Chains A and B, each alone.
Chain A
Amino acid sequence: MRKGLIQFSDVCLDYRLYRDRSVSIMETLMNVFGRGTSRDWFRALDHASFQISPGESVALVGSNGAGKSTTLKLLAGIYSPTSGKVRTSGRIASLLDLGVGFHPELTGAENVFLNGALLGFDQKRMVELIPGIAEFSMLERFMDTPVKYYSSGMFMRLGFALATSVNPDILLVDEVLAVGDAVFQAKCYDRIFGFRESGKTIVFVSHDPEAVRRLCTRAIWLDSGRVRMDGPVDDVLGTYLDANAGRLQNTAASATPREWGNREVFFSRVTLTDGNGVPARTFRQGDTLKVNTLIETREGREVKNIILGFSLHRPDGETVLASNNLENGESLLTISGKGEASISITPEIIEPGNFLLSISLTGNDTDYHWQDHFYPVSLLGTRQIPPLRMSSLTIAGGLIEWA
């Protein structure tokens, strides 16, 4: 088999679903003796077949739960198929989740050695690779620092540099790519495009149609675990986006920033910070995303019952999370002149990637001020199904006297 070839023949993969997940022996016994079973099967991939030749860059597109991530995990060898055959040849680098093998107490260099061993490289080989990894991740001065002192950006940089340093034949890329600051993101894309130029096979999963078009020549559309369409990227993406246009009211075109409303009440300043008030755009599992706003009313009037809301969207515009103070059972805002209000979101990050944050001020049947898709944020974490839930939310408002 030629290096870089992927064959996926008639692959099925079943997950066990738990209606009530039995976690103790007692519960299982009760289920066994009780009526019926609480178990069900979920077919994540349903007789999927395709072949990818060495040097091809292929995107997997489809809605959530269509089987894209499952396919990547099968290719990475993490899952074995329930039936059918998955064959790959050559070394695989998976950028499914960066830096997961890192132990917080170990230093950057120690983690690189450990991860190298997980990938099958001996110490000697890793010693050769370390300078390149340190340089690419811009962490030369921090290689002997335990990674628990790294910022999330540093962590991801090291993870990316390590995963791509091994000269793979096949590169599996999940949305995680969208990590770190803009400069590093550009570096990551450069390296990935470099792989493409040097004839490596790339399999890419993304919700961002633009990124898919840039990187891939071919796309495979997965729908409920089946291959619905397979062909040139523009054809597949076009058909896929059309088919979903009804469902996704906000398609790529309308996911661009937009500001509107009658501005009787308006945001005069907005900053995004972490829970400690430090400005941030990248958030990890457990972090709090805090939107601090300064709100003003036109001509200093007093406006009562203001609803402050937010929503979080994928790059293609699909809403993943939305709420406001009314829905969250918090008191409505009254602003007279100027007031500060904040939204603290602690998202349970089940789908890492880039998102667009929208915020809004509305009243009873009035749109005061909307900032749609205004603030890009990156969420880092482990991909899970189903995506994004809220684990806590507070919207608090205060009043500042009009001077």
Chain B
Amino acid sequence: MTGGLLLMKSLVEKDLKVRYKRSFLGFLWFLLKPLFSMVVYTIVFTKIIRFGGAIEHFSLFLLTGLLPWNFFAASLSASAKTLLDNQKLIRSIYFPRVALPISSVIANAVHMLMAMVVLEGLLIAFGHIPGISIITLPIAIVLLAAMTSGFAMMISVGNVYYRDVSQFLEVILLAWFYASPVIYPLGAGLIPARMEAVIKFNPVAGAMEIFHSTMYYGTWPELWAWISLVAWTAVILVAGLLIFKRMEPSVVKEL
């Protein structure tokens, strides 16, 4: 195994071990959190606002979107702290520091994957048998993780210079959540057409669409979703790597 991969693996293992060292329910929290929010959203959108009623098993639809979204949001929040939390380490030995934001994304991805296995079981139990299109899902997961890593690199560097970044991020994520097709479907006439066109430019819209269609509907995702996901991933990942590489020497002195 090459050095970089080994380092990444060790950091991910550490992340997972440390996070649940004193926690009774352990990784289940990663499943419980979306389950709780699912219950809240289900009540809000079927009993109060009555818009989810149009979708069968709305709770399962929600969960299909909430898992990847929670992965995305949790990874970005974690990445804001990753360099600061490890500043002593960074200042004492040399290692490829880009491994820090990436490994925190991967650790979150591991949680998402475990939770998705449980979700898939639920979906099948309620008659949402996946189609052949499910084979494209791993590709979408890898792309989403790569894009998330790109964002994570930028945020980790930015937060070293300005602590406002992590605060700002919380606000942005809240707006971003509602601007992404996580809790509502696109193309079902629930959203004004002009709005939908704008939402499709959202970097995570493609991934959400693919999760919903492959896992919940069992259909092939629409082409725009793939184009959007691939293009955004390429742009964000490259930008993240460039910014990280460019800023790394001064970040180390800044910490």
What residues of chain A have their CB less than 8 Å away from a CB belonging to chain B?
15-16, 23-26, 28, 73, 76-80, 94, 96-97, 100-101, 103, 105-106, 110, 113-114, 116-120, 122-123, 382
Complex Cα distance A122/B89, Å? 19
Whether B18 contacts A106 by the Cβ 8 Å rule is: yes
Q: Which of B6-14, B66-74, B175-183, B202-210 contacts A (4 or more CB under 8 A)?
A: B6-14
Whether A16 contacts B6 by the Cβ 8 Å rule is: no
Q: Taking the nearest CB of chain A, how far is it from the CB of B243, in angstroms?
A: 16
Kindly state whether residue B224 has any CB partner on chain A within 8 Å.
no
Kindly state whether residue B164 has any CB partner on chain A within 8 Å.
yes
Q: Taking the nearest CB of chain B, how far is it from the CB of A359, in angstroms?
A: 32
Neighbour of A119 across the interface among B18, B90, B93, B162, CB < 8 A: B93
The closest CB in chain B to the CB of A101 belongs to: B89
**How does the 8 Å CB contact mask read for B84-120 relative to A, with 1 for contact and 0 for none?**
0000111111110000000000000000000000000
Residues A78 and B6 in contact in the complex (CB < 8 Å), given A25-B164, A28-B162, A106-B18: no
Whether B93 contacts A78 by the Cβ 8 Å rule is: yes
Kindly state whether residue B1 has any CB partner on chain A within 8 Å.
yes
A-B residue pairs in contact (CB < 8 Å), sample of 8: A79-B249, A97-B92, A100-B88, A101-B93, A103-B14, A114-B10, A116-B10, A117-B9
Whether A122 contacts B6 by the Cβ 8 Å rule is: yes
B: number of interface residues (CB 8 Å): 29
Whether A94 contacts B7 by the Cβ 8 Å rule is: no
Q: Taking the nearest CB of chain A, how far is it from the CB of B22, in angstroms?
A: 8
Q: Which of B154-190 contact A (CB under 8 A)?
A: 162-164
The closest CB in chain A to the CB of B7 belongs to: A117
Whether A24 contacts B88 by the Cβ 8 Å rule is: no
Kindly state whether residue B56 has any CB partner on chain A within 8 Å.
no
Whether B164 contacts A118 by the Cβ 8 Å rule is: no
Q: Taking the nearest CB of chain A, how far is it from the CB of B92, in angstroms?
A: 4
Whether B18 contacts A105 by the Cβ 8 Å rule is: yes
The closest CB in chain B to the CB of A92 belongs to: B94
Neighbour of A24 across the interface among B7, B164, B249, CB < 8 A: B164
Q: Taking the nearest CB of chain B, how far is it from the CB of A170, in angstroms?
A: 12
Q: In the assembled complex, which residues on chain B have CB atoms less than 8 Å from the CB atom of A96? A: 92-93
The closest CB in chain B to the CB of A18 belongs to: B254
Complex Cα distance A119/B18, Å? 20
Q: Which of A28, A76, A101 has the most CB of B within 10 A?
A: A101
Complex Cα distance A116/B13, Å? 14
Neighbour of B3 across the interface among A100, A101, A120, CB < 8 A: A120
Q: Taking the nearest CB of chain B, how far is it from the CB of A11, in angstroms?
A: 13
Given contacts A16-B253, A100-B91, 5 further A-B contacts (CB under 8 A): A26-B164, A78-B93, A80-B249, A100-B92, A106-B18
Whether B6 contacts A117 by the Cβ 8 Å rule is: yes
Q: Taking the nearest CB of chain B, how far is it from the CB of A93, in angstroms?
A: 9
Kindly state whether residue B194 has any CB partner on chain A within 8 Å.
no
Q: In the assembled complex, which residues on chain A have CB atoms less than 8 Å from the CB atom of B11? A: 114, 117
Q: Taking the nearest CB of chain A, how far is it from the CB of B7, in angstroms?
A: 5
Whether B92 contacts A94 by the Cβ 8 Å rule is: yes
Q: In the assembled complex, which residues on chain B have CB atoms less than 8 Å from the CB atom of A76? A: 92-94
The closest CB in chain A to the CB of B88 belongs to: A100
Complex Cα distance A123/B3, Å? 11
Kindly state whether residue B50 has any CB partner on chain A within 8 Å.
no
Whether A23 contacts B10 by the Cβ 8 Å rule is: no
Whether B253 contacts A110 by the Cβ 8 Å rule is: no
Q: Taking the nearest CB of chain A, how far is it from the CB of B169, in angstroms?
A: 13
Q: In the assembled complex, which residues on chain B have CB atoms less than 8 Å from the CB atom of A114? A: 10-11, 13-14
Whether B18 contacts A103 by the Cβ 8 Å rule is: yes
Kindly state whether residue B252 has any CB partner on chain A within 8 Å.
yes
Q: In the assembled complex, which residues on chain A have CB atoms less than 8 Å from the CB atom of B10? A: 113-114, 116-118
Q: In the assembled complex, which residues on chain A have CB atoms less than 8 Å from the CB atom of B89? A: 100-101, 118
Q: Which of B63-84 contact A (CB under 8 A)?
A: none
Complex Cα distance A382/B1, Å? 33
Q: In the assembled complex, which residues on chain B have CB atoms less than 8 Å from the CB atom of A28? A: 162
Residues A78 and B162 in contact in the complex (CB < 8 Å), given A100-B89, A103-B18, A117-B9: no
Whether A15 contacts B253 by the Cβ 8 Å rule is: yes
Complex Cα distance A28/B1, Å? 44
Kindly state whether residue B17 has any CB partner on chain A within 8 Å.
yes
Neighbour of B93 across the interface among A26, A94, A105, CB < 8 A: A94
The closest CB in chain B to the CB of A176 belongs to: B92
Whether B253 contacts A79 by the Cβ 8 Å rule is: yes
Complex Cα distance A113/B250, Å? 29
Q: In the assembled complex, which residues on chain A have CB atoms less than 8 Å from the CB atom of B6? A: 117, 120, 122-123
The closest CB in chain A to the CB of B158 belongs to: A25
Q: Taking the nearest CB of chain B, how far is it from the CB of A244, in angstroms?
A: 28
Q: In the assembled complex, which residues on chain A have CB atoms less than 8 Å from the CB atom of B13? A: 114
Q: In the assembled complex, which residues on chain A have CB atoms less than 8 Å from the CB atom of B164? A: 24-26
**How does the 8 Å CB contact mask read for B1-40 relative to A, with 1 for contact and 0 for none?**
1010011011101100110011000000000000000000
Q: In the assembled complex, which residues on chain B have CB atoms less than 8 Å from the CB atom of A120? A: 3, 6-7, 95
Complex Cα distance A100/B249, Å? 20
Residues A23 and B93 in contact in the complex (CB < 8 Å), given A114-B10, A120-B3: no
Complex Cα distance A25/B165, Å? 9
Q: In the assembled complex, which residues on chain A have CB atoms less than 8 Å from the CB atom of B17? A: 105-106, 110
The closest CB in chain B to the CB of A111 belongs to: B14
Residues A78 and B21 in contact in the complex (CB < 8 Å), given A16-B254, A101-B89: no
